[in-house]
Structure 1
Amino acid sequence: MIWIILTFLGIPLWFCAVALGILLRGRHRIKHLPGGFGCKVRIVSGQVPGLKSEFSRITGVGNWIHAVLILHGGNPFLARTSLCGIQAVESGPSEIDPATVKRIDDPVAVRFRHDNGATLELACARHDLDAMLGPFAQQQWPADAPAHRPPPAESAS
């Protein structure tokens, strides 16, 4: 039906095919970035613009640049990118119910503290855990660590 409407409006079908190919190619390139990992994210406490309190339906791609987590999400037509400055790992890795995080095999979750004090929970496949921890891979937290830690005290200048 959409093809008939586009043809009626005078948009060539070859143009639609090329545009679709470009969109899908861009998504393919994001999924295969070095150090990238498939993940889903949600806000546990606080607020971060562009993120919700429930895991998204579509699995996104994350990668790290220093202590900044770059999250690429959305579908090919409505892609969105979120930049999240991360202070530390709050807890994890811990097991998470596969029914909560669909379309991820053998999911594990890690909670991170955002620069504004919010708590983010990222879920990924167990084989992507090292990539998900990124620069915090050396920081070890027990799986039963409390989910909310106070922010570090700032030194007086």
Structure 2
Amino acid sequence: MFGLLWRVALVFSVPAISLSRKANAGTIYHNAVTIYQTELLIALCLLMMCVGCLASIITPDPEGVQPIKPLAKFVYSVLGSLSAMFYIGYYEQQLSIVHPAWVGGVAFVAPAIVPSVKKLVFELLPVAHSAAKGFATRWLNSKGGDNG
């Protein structure tokens, strides 16, 4: 494993060192960031999505909460961060440096939110539905004045 990591580090360090030693390396980086700003921000969003997924899987569940399996945490994280990216693309239609942090944060928090949403849907909404149905039944069946 150490040999593999050493080879990967060597392969990626040679181009980085050669670029940094050139006299115009600063302008190359400036031009790359200026020209490919959106692509770099998308790549940073994907990187932060991976970091958020890993952090949510590694972080233990709090006490008193039913534990979630790591695969389910991964799926919740990926779906949450992809929905955050689609939200950014559809509603805001413009990327800034804050959006990658937001995507990573959503990826980290999504596994904690999904059980709450599940509880809301399966426990609270039927109670609200029956209360609304009872209210509508009472309202529609009431006489409401002198119908005489």
- Normalised to the residue count of structure 1, the TM-score between the two structures is 0.22
Return the structure number with greater strand share. 1
Bigger fraction of residues in helix: 2
Give the alignment's TM-score, normalised by structure 2. 0.23
